Chain A
C-alpha cells in the first residue's frame, strides 16, 4: 500500500530547513529557532531548529532519551525553553502558557495514553471542544436556551469527530474500558477537537500491530487532507515514519544530527551511526 503514496517534492526554505513545495507562500505553522532547555545544568535540548509547513507531515526520530518528547513539552509549554523562540503560525509564544499555546493551534497526544479514563468517550472529545463552545455559567445552571443549543452543537461535533475513526458507536462507553488501539485513536480525536493547526503525535503507533499501524498511516494522511493541518510525529516505527513523513529531523543527545526527506535520512551516515553505533574499521 505504501508504494502508492506519492512522494512530496521538498524544497529548500530560508535557513537550513525544507518544507513541502505546496506550502510555499504560506506561513509555516511552526518555526522553532535555537530552542534549548536545561534541567539543572543538563542540556536536554540544545539549539533545536525546525520549520514545519502548513500541511506538512513531519517526523521527529531519534534513539531513546534523545529529547524528542522534551521537544513536544517545549512546544506545548509544559517546560519553558531556556533559550530560543517558538513561533506558532508566526506568533511568538514567549509569554504564552499551555492553555494559550493550545488556543494558538497546538494539540497533542501522549506517549503513555492520558485519556480521562472515568469519563465517557463523548465527554473526552467534549473536553477538547471546551474552548470552542461558549455559554455563560448562568445559562448552564439555569438551563437557558443557549445552554441547550451549545450542548447540542457540542454533541453533534463530538460525534462528527468520532466518525473519523468510526467510533461514534462507542460515544457512551467509558474511555478507560476501550481497547488499547481505540484509546490511542480517541486521544487523536480529542486533540483534533481543539481545532489545532499543528497536531503533535507522540508515538501514535506504539503497541500497534502492523495492520493497525498501516491503518493509522492512512488515517494520519486522511486527517491532514481533511483538516488541512500540519502533523508532527515522534515514532520509532520506521515503516510509518519513512512511509508518511515528508520532512524528518533526527535528534540525538538533544541536538539535531540530520534533517531531510526520508530518502536523505535513510542514507545519512550520522543517522545510521546514532541508531546502530559506529562501524568498526576493518583490519
Chain B
C-alpha cells in the first residue's frame, strides 16, 4: 500500500512540476530563452491567492482567478521590461537578466510580504479519500492537482495545434524571421506565451502550497529549478516532454525520498538531470537537430 500511496503522491507532485515545466518549455520554444524568473512567478501567484482568501475574503476559486490574472500581467510586464529590449542580445545576457529578475521578485516579495513564512490554507477542502480500510489515503489536493494537470495539458495541446495563435506560436518557434515576413506579430506572440506560462505558474503555485503549506519568498525557487530539470529531462521545447518529464521527476523524487533517503531526494533529482544531459542531451522526447552542412 505504501508503494501505491507513494506513486500517487509522486504523480501529484510531478503534476505540479509538469505545469511549471510547461511554462519553461513554452517560453524556451518560442523566445529561445530560459526564464529563470518563472519559479518566482509561482510564489507570487501563491501569495496573491493567500491574501485573496485570508484577507480579502474571496472564495478559493475566485482567488485562483485573481492570482492567474495578476501573474499573467506580471509575466507580460517582465517580458516587456526585461527581456524584450534584449531580443537581439546574446543568450548569456538574457540568462543573467532572467536570474536578476528572479532575485528581484524574491526580494520584492520579502519587502512586501515579509520574511515570516505564511501558513497557506489549502484551497481544496473536499476531504480525503480513504481506501482499503484506511490503508490507502489519497488527499483531495492530489486528485485536484492531477486533474488540473490533465485539463491543462489537453487544453494547451489543442490550443497550439488548432488555433490561429497556437499556429503562430509554432511558426515563431521554428523561424521567427520567416513568421514575421508572413505577417505574424512576433512580439505579440511572445507576450501571449509569457501570459499563458505565467497564468499556469499561478495555478502551480496555489496547488504547490495547498499540498505543502509553507509560503515564503523563496518558495518558488526550488520547484522552479526542479521543473526546469523536468523540462530538460523531457526535452526542452516539447509540451508532451515537459508533461512526461515533470511527472517522472515527481515520482522519482518521492520514491527516492521514501526508499533511499529523505535527505537525498533532491540530490537524486539533480543527478538525473546530469545523467540525462550526458546520455541524451535532447531529453526524452526532444528531437535531435541535424545541422545542415
- Chain A residue with the shortest CB-CB distance to B170: A119
Q: Which of B164-181 contact A (CB under 8 A)?
A: 164-165, 167-168, 170-171, 174-175, 177-181
Q: Which chain B positions have C-beta within 8 A of A114?
A: 175, 177-178
Q: Which chain A positions have C-beta within 8 A of B168?
A: 127, 130
Cβ A76 vs Cβ B159 within 8 A: no
Question: What is the distance, in angstroms, from B145's C-beta to the closest C-beta of chain A?
Answer: 22
Cβ A190 vs Cβ B164 within 8 A: no
Cβ B167 vs Cβ A126 within 8 A: yes
B33 at the interface (CB under 8 A from A): no
- Chain A residue with the shortest CB-CB distance to B184: A130
Q: Which chain B positions have C-beta within 8 A of A154?
A: 164
For B159, B177, B178, the residue with the greatest tally of chain A CB atoms inside 10 Å of its CB is B178
- Chain A residue with the shortest CB-CB distance to B175: A114
Q: Which chain A positions have C-beta within 8 A of B167?
A: 119, 123, 126-127, 130
Cβ B183 vs Cβ A116 within 8 A: no
Within 8 Å by CB of B165, from A103, A118, A137, lies A137
A141 at the interface (CB under 8 A from B): yes
Within 8 Å by CB of A141, from B159, B178, B183, lies B159
Q: What CA separation (Å) do A117 and B159 show in the bound complex?
A: 19
Q: Which chain A positions have C-beta within 8 A of B177?
A: 78, 114
Question: What is the distance, in angstroms, from A29's C-beta to the closest C-beta of chain B?
Answer: 17
Cβ B182 vs Cβ A118 within 8 A: no
B116 at the interface (CB under 8 A from A): no
- Chain A residue with the shortest CB-CB distance to B163: A140
Given contacts A127-B168, A130-B164, contact A98 B181 (CB under 8 A): yes
B185 at the interface (CB under 8 A from A): yes
A13 at the interface (CB under 8 A from B): no
Within 8 Å by CB of A76, from B171, B181, B185, lies B181
B162 at the interface (CB under 8 A from A): yes
Q: What CA separation (Å) do A141 and B168 show in the bound complex?
A: 15
What sequence of 0s and 1s flags, for each residue 176-194 of chain A, a beta carbon within 8 Å of any chain B beta carbon?
A: 0000000000000011011
Q: Which chain A positions have C-beta within 8 A of B155?
A: 141
Q: Which of A184-234 contact B (CB under 8 A)?
A: 190-191, 193-194
Q: Which of A77-136 contact B (CB under 8 A)?
A: 78, 98-99, 102-103, 107-108, 110, 114-119, 123, 126-128, 130-131, 133, 135
Cβ B163 vs Cβ A191 within 8 A: no
Q: Which chain A positions have C-beta within 8 A of B184?
A: 99, 127, 130
Could you tell me the dominant secondary structure of chain B's interface residues?
helix
Cβ A103 vs Cβ B171 within 8 A: no
Q: Which chain A positions have C-beta within 8 A of B175?
A: 114, 116
Q: What CA separation (Å) do A225 and B175 show in the bound complex?
A: 31
Cβ B181 vs Cβ A127 within 8 A: no
Cβ B163 vs Cβ A102 within 8 A: no
A147 at the interface (CB under 8 A from B): yes
Q: What CA separation (Å) do A133 and B183 show in the bound complex?
A: 12
Cβ A140 vs Cβ B182 within 8 A: no
Cβ B178 vs Cβ A130 within 8 A: no
Given contacts A135-B164, A137-B165, A140-B165, contact A108 B174 (CB under 8 A): no
Cβ A191 vs Cβ B171 within 8 A: no
Cβ A116 vs Cβ B178 within 8 A: yes
Q: What CA separation (Å) do A191 and B179 show in the bound complex?
A: 11
Q: Which chain A positions have C-beta within 8 A of B174?
A: 116-119
Q: Which chain B positions have C-beta within 8 A of A191?
A: 182
Q: What CA separation (Å) do A103 and B180 show in the bound complex?
A: 11
Cβ A99 vs Cβ B183 within 8 A: yes
Q: What CA separation (Å) do A107 and B178 show in the bound complex?
A: 11
- Chain B residue with the shortest CB-CB distance to A175: B174
Q: Which chain B positions have C-beta within 8 A of A193?
A: 182
What sequence of 0s and 1s flags, for each residue 142-174 of chain B, a beta carbon within 8 Å of any chain A beta carbon?
A: 000000000000010001001111011011001
Cβ B178 vs Cβ A140 within 8 A: no
The 5 closest A-B pairs by CB, nearest first: A102-B183, A140-B163, A114-B178, A131-B183, A116-B174
Query: Which residues of A come within 8 Å of B, CB atoms?
Result: 76, 78, 98-99, 102-103, 107-108, 110, 114-119, 123, 126-128, 130-131, 133, 135, 137, 140-141, 147, 150-151, 154, 190-191, 193-194
- Given A137-B192, A151-B162, A154-B164; 13 other pairs, CB 8 A cutoff: A107-B181, A108-B181, A110-B178, A123-B167, A126-B167, A127-B171, A127-B179, A130-B182, A130-B183, A130-B184, A131-B183, A133-B164, A140-B165
